[in-house]
Amino acid sequence: DSQNPRAVRRSARRMRIAWGLLLGAVWTALHGNPNLVNFAGGTLLGLGILHLLQRRNVLQKREVLPARSPLLSRIGAAFQLAAVFLYELVLANFRLAQEVLKRRMTLQPGFIAYPLRASSNLEITTLAIMISLTPGTLSVALSEDRTTLFIHATQAENPEQTVQEIRKTLEDRILAVTR
């Protein structure tokens, strides 16, 4: 390396501290009781896990996580999937409530055959669950060859558009997390 070894160690130490603080914040959020003791405990636990992973050579010695780490990319994709799914969930609730509150509902329910690109059990199950959790859509069946997911939608007047929306908002993001 052409970099100063002291600067590299300092940078790695800062990264470990940043990841420890992030893990402490996640621990506190998951614990459900936000206080300083939980945050400190989560931070120490996170730093301990990072230390063990580095000692066992799971992580590179000089960096907590390399800048272009596949793990880091997947974590980012998972956060993006969660954010997009929550947005779609709120939007679908709003659209369905709006439809129900109309004087004359214009629902056009129907079944849609959704061609899957997902292939693993995890990918297919995650997609099916997210579709079923979204108001107005329900995963009904999976074809025997596991290439088509059958979906019931309250608005099925344009199946191709629905397929493209699901692919763009959910399936592509699920695949970014799992592959």
Residue 1 has what pLDDT? 43
Residue indicated by tokens 């580095």: 54
Across the strands, what pairs with 139? 151
Do 42 and 24 touch, CB atoms closer than 8 A?
A: yes
What is the Cα–Cα distance from 42 to 90, expressed in whole angstroms?
31
Residue 172 has what pLDDT? 96
Provide the mean pLDDT of the chain: 85
For every residue of the chain, DSSP letters joined together read --S-HHHHHHHHHHHHHHHHHHHHHHHHHHHS--SHHHHHHHHHHHHHHHHHHHHTTSS-SS-SS-TT-HHHHHHHHHHHHHHHHHHHHHHHHHHHHHHHHSSS---B-EEEEEE----SHHHHHHHHHHHHHSTTEEEEEE-TTSSEEEEEESB-S-HHHHHHHHIIIIIHHHHHHH-
State which amino acid sits at residue 164.
Answer: Q
State which amino acid sits at residue 80.
Answer: Q
Residue 27 has what pLDDT? 84
For 7-16, 75-84, 99-108, 142-151, which range has the lowest pLDDT when averaged over its residues? 7-16
User: Could you give the percent of the chain with pLDDT greater than 90?
Assistant: 41
What is the Cα–Cα distance from 109 to 102, expressed in whole angstroms?
16
Using a cut of 0.75, tell me whether the model's pTM lies above it.
no
pLDDT tens per residue, range 39-58? 888 888 888 877 777 766 65
Residue 68 has what pLDDT? 55
State the pLDDT confidence band at 11, using cuts at 50, 70 and 90.
confident
Tell me the average pLDDT across 142-167.
96
CA atoms within 13 A on the CB side of 130: 24
